Amino acid sequence: MSVPAEPPAEATAPPGPPARSGVASALGWILTIGLNVVAPILTYNILTEDHGWSEFSALLLSSAWPVLDTAIVVAWRRKVDEFAVVTLVFLVITAVVSLVGAHTARALLVKDSCVTGLFGLLCLATLLAPRPLMFYFGRKFATDGTPASTAWWNGMWQYEGFRSTMRTMTLVWGVAYVAEALVRVALAYALPTRTMVTLSPVMIYGVLAALGVWTARFGKRRAAEGARRQAEADAAAAAATV
**CA dist., res. 197 & res. 209, Å (int):** 19
**CA dist., res. 98 & res. 107, Å (int):** 9
SS3 for 175-207, per residue?
HHHHHHHHHHHHHHHHCCHHHHHHHHHHHHHHH
pLDDT digits 0-9 by tens, 101-159: 666 667 777 777 888 898 899 899 999 999 999 998 888 777 766 778 888 888 899 98
Residue 91: name the closest of 48, 131, 35 by CA.
35
**Does residue 85 register a pLDDT over 90?**
no
Average pLDDT over residues 168-195: 91
Domain spans, the chain: 20-100, 102-242
**pLDDT score recorded for residue 169:** 95
Average pLDDT over residues 170-190: 93
Residue with the larger pLDDT of the pair 189 and 62: 189
**CA dist., res. 106 & res. 24, Å (int):** 43
Average pLDDT over residues 175-194: 90
Residue 166: name the closest of 86, 223, 98, 207 by CA.
223
Q: Is 177 exposed, middle or buried (0-12, 13-18, 19+ CB in 10 A)?
A: buried
Per 3-state DSSP, the chain is made up of helix, strand and coil in percentages (nearest 5) of 80, 0, 20
**pLDDT score recorded for residue 2:** 40
pLDDT digits 0-9 by tens, 1-49: 343 444 444 545 566 555 555 565 567 667 777 776 788 778 878 888 8
Q: Is 65 exposed, middle or buried (0-12, 13-18, 19+ CB in 10 A)?
A: buried
**CA dist., res. 40 & res. 60, Å (int):** 10
Given its phi and psi angles, is residue 129 left (phi above 0), alpha (psi -120 to 50 degrees) or beta? beta
- Residue 237 and residue 7 in contact, taking contact as beta carbons nearer than 8 Å: yes
Residue 142: name the closest of 134, 107, 190 by CA.
134
**pLDDT score recorded for residue 3:** 39
